[in-house]
Amino acid sequence: MASSFEHFEEPPAPERAEDRIMEDQRRQAIGQALGALPDEQRDVIELAFFGGLTQAEIATVLDTPLGTIKGRVRLAMQKLRATLEPIAESI
């Protein structure tokens, strides 16, 4: 006779569940930090990190001088760092 627990899956180990929770917290913090950026800064960060474009390519796509793109990336990264560093230390 087959056991009624044959198809029962063990719950994930607490460490794995904790890892998932921490990853969810990180993603939420990053999403909130990105959402707090001015649109122009968020756009260049998204194109660079999620779109895989270089700063020169972003300048072409947005028809914006390269120096302006570089400045937006720098400011955005400073803001993200300032926002996320305290959170990273607590997670």
CATH number at residue 82: 1.10.10.10
4: in domain: no
Asked whether residue 1 carries a pLDDT value surpassing 60, the answer given is no
| Number of domains making up the chain | 1
Range of the domain at 61: 34-90
Tens digits of per-residue pLDDT, 22-45?
Answer: 888 888 888 999 999 999 999 999
Nearest to 28 by CA among 88, 76, 89: 88
60 part of a folded domain: yes
Ordered DSSP codes for 24-75: HHHHHHHHHHHHHS-HHHHHHHIIIIIS---HHHHHHHHT--HHHHHHHHHH
Whether 7 maps to a domain, the answer reads: no
Q: Is residue 27 part of a domain?
A: no
pTM, 2 dp: 0.72
